Amino acid sequence: MFQSANQITNYNERLAIVLGILTLVLALATFASCRSCMVFLNRFGLSGFTRQKGYQTFYKTHAYLWWALWFVLFLHLMVGTIHAAHSITPGDSDAYVHWRVLWTGLGGLVLIGGFVLTTCRSFTRTLDFMMNRSSLKNRAYRLFYRYHSYYWWIFILIAGGHFAIGFLHAGIWP
């Protein structure tokens, strides 16, 4: 019941790492089921792989993977923020690292939520349903929508930086 602050901080850090790895796996699965990944694989001569029944079944799970990703991402964000906010105190030697992890994580969150998700085919279908008309008839949205695959690459770079800084800070298991 009464645990020391170091034990709680260590537990939060481990939980944030587990949730971060799960978030990474779900983000990669979401990307692998994305139309951008399919185009990428086709351009590099792997079109036979994308035509297989197993991949086509996996490709259809894209919308569900988004829901799972957002749920785990929210948990990772919550636990990571609690850990960093608890340990960013005057005299903390790791404070600068925590801020870098938080800022790269926030950048990745903005990119995946504000750009990747809003240009996703799953989001577009939902938007069409809610607006009762095709969102791709809007010229401004269509211009934004066409760069979906580029948003993924920028997100992957930022998420890689977030992972690298977190790994340098805590290793794989503190």
Kindly report, residue by residue over 65-112, the tens digit of the pLDDT.
Answer: 999 999 999 999 999 888 877 666 666 677 778 888 888 999 999 988
Contact yes or no for 141/66 (Cβ under 8 A): no
Identify which of 4-8, 68-72, 106-110, 168-172 has the greatest average pLDDT.
68-72
Contact yes or no for 148/122 (Cβ under 8 A): no
H or E element in which residue 58 lies: helix 53-59
Domain span including residue 76? 5-170
What is the pLDDT, as a whole number, of residue 86? Answer: 65
Neighbours of 154 (CB within 10 A): 16
Q: In the structure encoding, which two tokens stand for residue 78, read together?
A: 């919550």
H or E element in which residue 69 lies: helix 62-87
Total number of domains in the chain: 1
Model confidence, pTM = 0.83
Question: Out of 21-30, 93-102, 149-158, which region has the weakest mean confidence (pLDDT)?
Answer: 93-102
